[in-house]
Amino acid sequence: MGGVSNTNQNANIRSGPGMQIAFGYALVFGFAAAAVVWTTWFVTHLPWVSLTEPMRAGGVIAAWIVAAAVLSRGCTLGTSVLGGLISALLGLLILGAKLIEPGQTAAAVPSAVLIGLAFLAMGAAIGLVGAVVGRALPRARPGDTLAQFAVATAATVAPLLFIGGLVTSTNSGMAVPDWPQTYGTNMFLYPLKGAGPAVFLEHSHRLFGTLVGLSTLTLMIWTLSAERRKWVKVLAIIAFSLVVIQGVLGGARVLENKRLLAMLHGVLAQLTFGTIVGLAAALSPMFKAVQRTDPIANPKKLRIFVTAALHSTLLQLVFGAMYRHFRDRHSLFSHMGLAMVVLILALAAGFAARSVAGQHGGLGKIMRRCGTWLLVVVLFQFILGWATFSMGGKAVAADSPGQALLRTVHQANGAALLAVAVLAFVWAKRLLRVSTASVS
């Protein structure tokens, strides 16, 4: 009887939690691979990049296989195939832009269903190839799939921020004058072949927004069903709500044609990214596992500097958005003046985080890493700021693709600075809490 009982128990493990973990990682695989595929598609199809169609397709497939190989480490063959299939399902959202020629309708492509099915089969096959290739790579340690999915969600937001920055830098926000359709067409079926840079950027921005919406919706549902901490559940709801508000605000900006709404849209995008990054940190195994640690030296200094660095960065992104959208002298001088404040506070927070001693185990290591990244990113941002001021042009729309790229890199690195400041703040709060608990 004992042998039968053990056999049944093992079968339940394989069909219960094991299956849930496998499906959970397949979701991580699918969304992370989709972020890579979508980003590669965007870069290879930019109107400024002169590539032949075979080169574009080859680049996307190569990036897809590489992503599948990296993500396949440590997972089963079936999970990898399912992950490839999920990434292909998400890829269907941009496939319509390739299937339909300008002037055509969906009815003019009778083989669209077969092409879609073939695309799904290719995704599963790429998952299989990735699993085979991934066996030659170092094995990845198994982790918390929900925490990994939160990181994958942040990875889908990053390219959306960059594309949104290009839209602003090129003044392409009104290139598509209707919403949610694109020139009266279902936006998933609008042909991008031959589209000018402005239309391509604005329409791609909308497509990437759907990927972010799906990923944050999945993250919220998963967090609500698997997470016990109420405040983390609330944070997941807030993150998804911000994405929904972002979509509505972006649509209102087009329908109302108001630059103020465009500025608010840009600011909220960065806040949304910071919220998702903070949620990913809260869901990480380290955040949940550590309960006690030794008291830290100068806790007040760490608390003050990381808090001040985060708040000043938030204020700085508002002035930056004001100048990007209005190009007025007041927002420019405010942005430049506050840049010095952000630099000083971020450097102070970085050094304070790096001074955390090694006896705090994993938390201490994370804090020191956050401190290092704060120092690197804020210095790079300061240099980028002056380079953008000198060479990025003075008009609302950049005069060249080079100017647009420089402005957008500055904006994207600002988002990276905000993300690192959020991580430093969240991990410092956690460290201070568990070190205080150890004292009492």
Looking at residues 249-260, what average pLDDT do you find?
Answer: 94
Summarised one tens digit per residue, pLDDT across range 341-353 is 999 999 999 999 9
Residue 213: pLDDT over 80: yes
52 sits in which H/E element = none
CB neighbour list of residue 168: distance below 8 Å, 6 or more residues apart: 262, 266, 324, 325, 407, 408, 411
User: Where residue 12 falls among pLDDT bands split at 50, 70, 90?
Assistant: very low
Residue 246: pLDDT over 50: yes
pLDDT of residue 98: 80
Say which amino acid occupies 113.
V
Match 């909220």 to its residue by tokens.
268
Task: Quote the DSSP letter at residue 181.
Answer: S
Residue 359: pLDDT over 70: no
CB neighbour list of residue 359: distance below 8 Å, 6 or more residues apart: 293, 294
Distance, in Å, from the CA atom of 104 to the CA atom of 220, rounded to the nearest integer, reads: 38
Summarised one tens digit per residue, pLDDT across range 124-162 is 999 999 999 988 888 777 678 999 999 999 999 999 999
Looking at residues 190-209, what average pLDDT do you find?
Answer: 92
Residue 224: pLDDT over 60: yes
pTM listed for this prediction: 0.91
Q: Which of 84-88, 262-266, 360-364 has the lowest mean pLDDT?
A: 360-364
User: Where residue 360 falls among pLDDT bands split at 50, 70, 90?
Assistant: low
pLDDT of residue 357: 66
Please tell me whether residue 218 adopts helix, strand or coil conformation. Answer: helix
Residue 375: pLDDT over 90: yes
pLDDT of residue 17: 56
Distance, in Å, from the CA atom of 307 to the CA atom of 300, rounded to the nearest integer, reads: 11
pLDDT of residue 103: 67
Average pLDDT, the chain: 89
CB neighbour list of residue 127: distance below 8 Å, 6 or more residues apart: 29, 68, 72, 80, 81, 82, 83, 84, 85, 87
Task: State residue 185 phi and psi, 5-degree precision.
Answer: -110, 145
Looking at residues 334-346, what average pLDDT do you find?
Answer: 95
Is the model more confident about 357 or about 389?
389
**Which two tokens mark 147?**
């925490």
Q: Which of 16-20, 93-97, 145-149, 426-430 has the lowest mean pLDDT?
A: 16-20
Q: Where are the beta strands (DSSP E) in 85-188?
A: none
Instruction: Say what percent of the chain tops pLDDT 90.
Output: 70
**Chain centroid offset of residue 284 CA:** 16
**Which two tokens mark 15?**
């069909």
Looking at residues 63-84, what average pLDDT do you find?
Answer: 93
pLDDT of residue 5: 38
Distance, in Å, from the CA atom of 215 to the CA atom of 81, rounded to the nearest integer, reads: 19
pLDDT of residue 83: 96
Summarised one tens digit per residue, pLDDT across range 18-52 is 677 788 999 999 999 999 999 999 999 998 888 99
Task: State residue 355 phi and psi, 5-degree precision.
Answer: -80, -5
Instruction: Say what percent of the chain tops pLDDT 70.
Output: 90
